[in-house]
Chain A
Amino acid sequence: MGKQAKIMKSLDKISSNSILRSGLYLATIFFFVAIILIPTVLGIALKWNLLSTVFENPDLLSRAMNAVGASFAIAAFVSVIDLIAGVPTAWFIARGKSRWLNVLDTLCDLPFIIPTVALGYSLLLFWDSPLGVAGLFGGSLLSPGWLLIILLHFVFSFPVVVRVMVGALLDYKYVYEEAARTLGAHPVTADRTVTFPILKPSLVGSFVLAFARSLSETGATIVVAGTFETGVVFISNMNTPENQAIYGQGPLVFASLLLLLIAVIIFGVIQLFGTRLKIPIKHISRSFEKKASGKKVVRLRDGATLFTLFFLILLPALFVAVTALPAIQDGTLGNALSGSVDQTGKYNWGAYWQSLLVSYFVGFAATIVNVVAGLPMAILIARNRMGKQLSSVLDALVNIPIIVPSVALGVSLRLFWANFPFVPELLLIIMAHISITYPYFVKSLAAAIMRVDPEVENAARILGARPFGVFRTIILPMVKYSFFAGAIIMFTRSISETGATVAVISPTSSLLTVPVLLVQWIRPLLPSGTTTAVGVSSAVGLGCGFLILFSILILLVLRLMMRGKGRY
């Protein structure tokens, strides 16, 4: 018997011990509560005494309130337009028959894997520089501000809606729609009265995810915000050494707490009432819905969907690649490859490569820790291992890091871990990334395990498999796809994460992840008081390009590893 087989056999044997099993689940819960949940919220909550700084300064209070209000308004608006644009796109992909739909499906993921800071700069170039579409309109079509924030948030939260809804539509039993048609419903009527109500949990779920994503995104928002402040931009502005010296941590804590509390209330309300919303089926205009189901309208809808996808999402998202082209001729590529500092002294490529290494190291570390810690949690939730009620509570609590804006989460983590000065900064960054990415893996895997018929497990047990053996030989092969998909989402989310990283590192830190470094590179190019046009730099283009390229390459490798790990 080989060494590996011996280990597996021992683990199989150990797993039969119910005390050890309970111990593992308790350790999992402890990890979640102590490392993820408490630092995520308690760091800010414990600093409530700092709030007086804000309340004593009416201007600052008003500025913070306006910024947080703007965050929620933008998140709500973006989530609605995400649904309006994302659902038809998902429909087009899920219901279409063309072989090109696979390509389209993959393209929809692109904004998700492009680091948001690169995305923000790309949008700025597209809409606000003579290089982009703005060139057709005299150099600037959209200046940094709320409209560009909306467009940006639409671009990066759109894939979330498409991904969730494509999955939901593929799982949806088309026979319900057919039944409605045979009962006299026109296609649009069938969708309104049957398909959408059945898909309501997914619609609500994708709305919540898009809302949370919009609310918490920081890196790219800073790039396109200009002088406009959302909650995260306010927190980021208050995190500078100058503002820290003037106001201290009070404004950070205030905005973070406000974002957190309102987010929790809104998501609570959505969870409670969202799925109870009923769409009335009576009082419809049959002739209108018949016309709306017609081929011309459907073609128009598909055309608008494709236009939105290509011209409002993909083209602006990938536009940054254009600025990387001159890098080959102007020596930037040489500087980059040699890791030297360019002539202006602005772009230190040595620091860039180091930050890239830090990013990937943090990404891998967070992914591995979460796989190990998240796996038992997913089983605990999916199989009610310690009672149904506890599973339901844990299932709800796992969502918290998703709904807490990442910059607020970062502030909370920094404040919490500041009580433990021995924790090095790199570990703090990893902790932040673990907190942010943990729910993506647990939720994805728990959902997959729930879909596995428990009778399959029972059959394996009856045939002699011990608990670990059942998991290793039956459950894991059946949920491999979701396992790897969850890991990929964690990794990409970690690589592109900016807000929490900015918040956890000290303002003077030299330990940067690549999105944070790119924010520093991009900031001088942004329109400010003295300049109104966005600057173009082949170094920034190349920096973003490398990050996109490496991220895509790593994703490709991971996807290749996933190949053959079929869905059952």
Chain B
Amino acid sequence: MPNVKVVNVSKTFGDGKIVAVDNVSLEIYDKEYFSLIGPSGCGKTTLLRLIAGLIPMDKGAIYIDNVLVNNMPPEEREIGFVFQTYALFPHMNVWENVTYGPHIKAWEEKKASALGRETLEMVKLYGRSEAFPNELSGGMMQRVAVARALAAGAKLLLLDEPLGALDAKIRNELRYDIRRLVKDLGLTAIHVTHDQAEAMAISDRIAVMRKGRILQVGTPYDLYMNPQHLFVANFIGESNFLEGHIVDVQQDFTTVRLRGGVTVDACNAKARKKDERVVLVIRPEAFTMQKGWKKTANGITGTIKRVSFEGTTTRYEVYLKTEETVIVTRPSLAEQPLPVNEKVTLTFQPEKSHIFPYPLLGLMEELKSE
């Protein structure tokens, strides 16, 4: 079973004017379900196509199963690729699509048929073998595309936004189906998506890309709990960003003065210096919320401006005295919802916050997805 190593790979388009992949290095382990996520145009699909050999790279090296594949055409890389549009051959029925790989590789007819049947049963579509792609629903087409890739003997499955064109409910079902298949068959999978929730739900590890570079690689938990970049904190889940200056750096915590002179204790930020301009990042669920304006430790006061009931949680937009708005989410069942215009005090535990130096190009620019 293959691992994949990407070493200093770059790819530009338009005579070098557009840098799609910028000196990227990455290792994907054997049997790992790995996701590449990032906003549109960040280079994730380009990186996947480089791994597949569908486009040539400008520089760098790619190894699949420890074999350098830079000059190896896609047909010899033993990969399976599931395209965003599925790319089912319109002139072939489901059976012909799925057995295409075994046939053109001139495998024995018996083996080809067995593989076709096995993979179609795996995706629960054996009964639709005679159907043509235009007779299938989006979810079915997606499953045929996966079956086709598997029947061709792929050990490395590359998935380019395979669920992007499906509705939310089917997408949620199919993402677990794909993961289960990959794990049952012991494959390595690289899954490209812009949907962070999808990546978080199914991946062993995730790489977050932006502007052709990989910002952070880690488990979903790592990325959520310990983002190393402001962009990652914003892209994975939801975060509040409060501007401030460091007042004091202690052993276990750092004191930050926010706008309007409010001081709070935040996480340990030993690398930061006194008076440095910083951004304090707090997840919406990290806040606790009390009625009324109270003088409590690590408290910030504000007024609720909007309340949205979202089922499991209730979401509040709170306008702070610092003249910034933060999002607060609270469990719906555990707490009685508070009304709009209610004066509230927000508190948080310092270790559940993150401090980042204020970006050179400004906070908005740093958080921008495009």
When C-beta atoms are compared, the residue in chain A nearest to B76 turns out to be A184
Cβ–Cβ contact A183 & B148, under 8 A: yes
A257-296 contact mask (Cβ, 8 Å, vs B): 1 or 0:
0000000000000000000000001111010000000000
The docked-state distance in angstroms from the alpha carbon of A282 to that of B81 is: 22
Cβ–Cβ contact B104 & A179, under 8 A: no
| A178, CB-defined interface residue at 8 Å | yes
Counting chain B CB atoms within 10 Å of each CB, the highest count among A176, A178, A183, A189 belongs to A183
| Also in contact, A178 and B83, with CB within 8 A (given A186-B73, A186-B75) | yes
The docked-state distance in angstroms from the alpha carbon of A185 to that of B164 is: 26
What's the least CB distance linking B55 to chain A, in Å? 9
List the A side residues contacting B75 at CB < 8 Å: 181-186, 189
When C-beta atoms are compared, the residue in chain A nearest to B86 turns out to be A179
What's the least CB distance linking A290 to chain B, in Å? 9
A180-198 contact mask (Cβ, 8 Å, vs B): 1 or 0:
1111111101000110011
Cβ–Cβ contact B89 & A182, under 8 A: no
B47-91 contact mask (Cβ, 8 Å, vs A): 1 or 0:
000001110000000000000000001110101110101010111
Counting chain B CB atoms within 10 Å of each CB, the highest count among A184, A187, A189 belongs to A184
Cβ–Cβ contact B87 & A284, under 8 A: no
Cβ–Cβ contact A198 & B152, under 8 A: no
| B106, CB-defined interface residue at 8 Å | yes
The listed residue (A178, A183, A198, A284) touching B149 by CB distance below 8 A is: A183
Cβ–Cβ contact B74 & A178, under 8 A: yes
Cβ–Cβ contact B105 & A179, under 8 A: no
| Also in contact, A286 and B106, with CB within 8 A (given A181-B75, A183-B148, A198-B90) | yes
Interface residues of B, count at CB 8 A: 28
| A173, CB-defined interface residue at 8 Å | yes
The docked-state distance in angstroms from the alpha carbon of A179 to that of B79 is: 11
List the B side residues contacting A175 at CB < 8 Å: 83, 85, 87
| B103, CB-defined interface residue at 8 Å | yes
Cβ–Cβ contact A193 & B54, under 8 A: no
Cβ–Cβ contact A189 & B87, under 8 A: no
The docked-state distance in angstroms from the alpha carbon of A197 to that of B93 is: 13
Counting chain A CB atoms within 10 Å of each CB, the highest count among B90, B91, B149 belongs to B91
Cβ–Cβ contact B87 & A179, under 8 A: yes
Within 8 A of A (CB), among B108-152: 148-149, 152
Cβ–Cβ contact A198 & B104, under 8 A: no
A153-187 contact mask (Cβ, 8 Å, vs B): 1 or 0:
00000000000000000000101101111111111
List the B side residues contacting A194 at CB < 8 Å: 89
List the A side residues contacting B85 at CB < 8 Å: 173, 175
The docked-state distance in angstroms from the alpha carbon of A227 to that of B79 is: 62
Number of A-B contacts (CB under 8 A): 78
List the A side residues contacting B80 at CB < 8 Å: 182-183
| Also in contact, A281 and B74, with CB within 8 A (given A182-B81, A197-B91) | no
| B101, CB-defined interface residue at 8 Å | yes
List the A side residues contacting B104 at CB < 8 Å: 180, 183-185, 189, 193, 281, 284, 286
Counting chain A CB atoms within 10 Å of each CB, the highest count among B90, B104, B149, B153 belongs to B104
Cβ–Cβ contact B81 & A179, under 8 A: yes
List the A side residues contacting B81 at CB < 8 Å: 178-179, 182
The docked-state distance in angstroms from the alpha carbon of A79 to that of B55 is: 35
What's the least CB distance linking B231 to chain A, in Å? 30
List the B side residues contacting A281 at CB < 8 Å: 96, 100, 103-104
| Also in contact, A173 and B87, with CB within 8 A (given A178-B74, A181-B75, A183-B101) | yes
What's the least CB distance linking B320 to chain A, in Å? 44
List the B side residues contacting A198 at CB < 8 Å: 89-91
Cβ–Cβ contact B54 & A181, under 8 A: yes
When C-beta atoms are compared, the residue in chain B nearest to A175 turns out to be B87
List the B side residues contacting A197 at CB < 8 Å: 89, 91
What's the least CB distance linking A35 to chain B, in Å? 39
What's the least CB distance linking A188 to chain B, in Å? 11
Interface residues of A, count at CB 8 A: 24
The listed residue (A178, A200, A282, A286) touching B87 by CB distance below 8 A is: A178
Tell me the interface secondary structure of chain A in the complex.
helix
List the B side residues contacting A200 at CB < 8 Å: 91
What's the least CB distance linking A280 to chain B, in Å? 10
What's the least CB distance linking A554 to chain B, in Å? 36
Within 8 A of B (CB), among A507-551: none
When C-beta atoms are compared, the residue in chain A nearest to B85 turns out to be A175
The docked-state distance in angstroms from the alpha carbon of A185 to that of B148 is: 13
When C-beta atoms are compared, the residue in chain B nearest to A282 turns out to be B103
The docked-state distance in angstroms from the alpha carbon of A282 to that of B112 is: 11
The docked-state distance in angstroms from the alpha carbon of A284 to that of B90 is: 21
What's the least CB distance linking B40 to chain A, in Å? 18
The docked-state distance in angstroms from the alpha carbon of A185 to that of B83 is: 16
The docked-state distance in angstroms from the alpha carbon of A285 to that of B178 is: 34
Cβ–Cβ contact A181 & B73, under 8 A: yes
The docked-state distance in angstroms from the alpha carbon of A284 to that of B81 is: 23
The docked-state distance in angstroms from the alpha carbon of A198 to that of B83 is: 18
List the A side residues contacting B77 at CB < 8 Å: 182
The docked-state distance in angstroms from the alpha carbon of A282 to that of B103 is: 6
List the A side residues contacting B105 at CB < 8 Å: 184, 286
List the A side residues contacting B149 at CB < 8 Å: 182-183
When C-beta atoms are compared, the residue in chain A nearest to B158 turns out to be A182
The listed residue (A179, A283, A286) touching B89 by CB distance below 8 A is: A179
The docked-state distance in angstroms from the alpha carbon of A125 to that of B197 is: 72
List the B side residues contacting A282 at CB < 8 Å: 103
List the A side residues contacting B74 at CB < 8 Å: 178, 181-182
The docked-state distance in angstroms from the alpha carbon of A356 to that of B210 is: 64
Cβ–Cβ contact A179 & B83, under 8 A: yes
Counting chain B CB atoms within 10 Å of each CB, the highest count among A179, A282, A283 belongs to A179
List the A side residues contacting B79 at CB < 8 Å: 182
The docked-state distance in angstroms from the alpha carbon of A96 to that of B56 is: 15
What's the least CB distance linking A145 to chain B, in Å? 42
The docked-state distance in angstroms from the alpha carbon of A284 to that of B102 is: 12
List the B side residues contacting A181 at CB < 8 Å: 53-54, 73-75
Within 8 A of B (CB), among A122-170: none
List the B side residues contacting A186 at CB < 8 Å: 73, 75
The docked-state distance in angstroms from the alpha carbon of A117 to that of B153 is: 59
The docked-state distance in angstroms from the alpha carbon of A284 to that of B75 is: 15
A191-222 contact mask (Cβ, 8 Å, vs B): 1 or 0:
00110011010000000000000000000000
Cβ–Cβ contact B100 & A193, under 8 A: yes
When C-beta atoms are compared, the residue in chain A nearest to B151 turns out to be A183
The docked-state distance in angstroms from the alpha carbon of A436 to that of B148 is: 48
The docked-state distance in angstroms from the alpha carbon of A180 to that of B73 is: 12
List the B side residues contacting A182 at CB < 8 Å: 52, 54, 74-75, 77, 79-81, 149, 152, 158
What's the least CB distance linking B116 to chain A, in Å? 13
Cβ–Cβ contact A178 & B54, under 8 A: yes
Cβ–Cβ contact B100 & A183, under 8 A: yes
Cβ–Cβ contact B91 & A284, under 8 A: no
B333-354 contact mask (Cβ, 8 Å, vs A): 1 or 0:
0000000000000000000000
List the B side residues contacting A178 at CB < 8 Å: 54, 74, 81, 83, 87
| Also in contact, A180 and B100, with CB within 8 A (given A175-B83, A286-B105) | yes
Q: Which residues of B contact A (CB under 8 A)?
A: 52-54, 73-75, 77, 79-81, 83, 85, 87, 89-91, 96, 100-101, 103-106, 148-149, 152-153, 158
- Shortest beta-carbon contacts, A-B, top 8: A182-B81, A179-B87, A183-B101, A181-B74, A175-B87, A183-B152, A184-B105, A197-B91
Known A182-B80, A183-B75, A184-B153; 4 more pairs at CB < 8 Å: A175-B83, A183-B148, A184-B105, A200-B91
CB pairs A–B below 8 angstroms (25 shown): A173-B85, A173-B87, A175-B87, A178-B54, A178-B81, A178-B83, A179-B81, A180-B100, A181-B53, A181-B74, A181-B75, A182-B75, A182-B79, A182-B80, A183-B148, A183-B149, A184-B75, A184-B104, A184-B152, A186-B73, A187-B73, A189-B75, A193-B104, A198-B91, A200-B91
